[in-house]
Amino acid sequence: MASSSSSPSVESTALPTARLTALLLAPLLAFLVTACSTPEARIEALAHRAHFEREIVRGTGFRHVIYRPEAPHSGSELHVYLEGDGTPYRLRTLISADPTPRTPLALELMMQDAAPTLYLGRPCYLGLALDPPCTPGDWTLARFSPAVVESLAAVLEHEIASGGYLRVTLIGHSGGGALAVLLANRVDAVDRVVTIAGNLDVSGWTRLHRYTPLSRSLDPLAGAPPRSSVELIHFAGGADLNITPALIRGAAARLGGAVIVIPGFDHRCCWVRLWPELLRTNFRAPSGI
């Protein structure tokens, strides 16, 4: 009798304990699933949340992943977002198998933009690292190569023609800023370039950090500056140690364009928070700067 009467009490305490353990472990398991997901999967999740549709399109030699709103906004001006370099290296001398950024700042900016928008993926990024003819050189020493720029330009021109856009603003973060400047003279519809912590002086940047020179890449300062009809606006973070305000000011003195330094901001923080105001003011300096 004693043993049979004790069994229910053991079961009644075991079940709540199991449930409590499960509840405690659930956040940890969710964190581990998120942490182990690929950068491409995290970007796809962000895009899905923003109701962006994904498409793979062909440029000249490379394929590109692009995102656009599922329900396109009307307007004659297209805002094109170009992402930074992501993770070309896992360590200083160890090349990544996939350069896709873990934190897609340009995509997060585009999520707040109500204008017609396009997220123009770089070749070999966003799950295409093994896509022929991609090699690790295409996201390391040749990340801004003529072949990369020409392929991006071909995709962009097709999108402009398909949408009937009359004006294009290129918005590039970090290495995407370099590509935006390089594209400006190759695509006639571009009439404005906005860079955020843009790598406008590639040679100066590699010297500053003692990186291997990007010997197979174009440097925005080495070619002709964008034509005079293209408005240039360069944002810099006052606390950015990666691409410093001094680098951006020096490059802008040769390329042209206004330089707006935001005190306290660094290479990534806090552009997403400021972006709605910059869109509202048509990329003018925030009040109080």
Instruction: For residue 185, give every residue at least 6 positions away whose Cβ sits within 8 Å of its Cβ, in sequence order, or none.
Output: 223, 224, 226, 227
Least confident of 10-14, 83-87, 156-160, 205-209: 10-14
Computed over every residue of the chain, the mean pLDDT equals 90
One-letter amino acid identity for 277?
E
- CA nearest to 121, candidates 57, 180, 48, 64: 64
- Taking residues 54-71, report their average pLDDT: 97
pLDDT of residue 91: 87
Q: Smallest Cα–Cα separation from 196: which of 79, 98, 61?
A: 79
The confidence score (pLDDT) of residue 19 equals 53
Q: Is the pLDDT of residue 183 over 60?
A: yes
Per mean pLDDT, which range of 143-147, 204-208, 223-227, 253-257 is the poorest? 223-227
Whole-number pLDDT of residue 245: 98
State the pairing for strand pair 52-58/63-69: antiparallel
Model confidence at 100: pLDDT above 90:
yes
170: left (phi over 0), alpha (psi -120 to 50) or beta: beta
4-62 residue pLDDT tens: 433 333 333 344 554 544 455 555 444 434 444 899 999 999 999 999 999 999 999 99
For the entire predicted model, the pTM comes to 0.87
Domain residue limits, the chain: 1-36, 39-280
Cα 259 from Cα 257, distance rounded (Å): 7
Task: Report the pLDDT averaged over residues 121-140.
Answer: 98
- Please identify, in words, the CATH class of the domain defined by 39-280: alpha beta
Confidence class for position 93, pLDDT limits 50, 70, 90: confident
Residue 88: per-residue pLDDT:
97
Q: Kindly tell me if the per-residue pLDDT of 132 is higher than 90.
A: yes
CB 131 within 8 A of CB 63: yes
Check pLDDT > 90 for residue 113.
Answer: yes
Q: What are 214-273's pLDDT values in tens digits?
A: 999 999 999 899 999 999 999 999 999 999 999 999 999 999 999 999 999 999 999 999
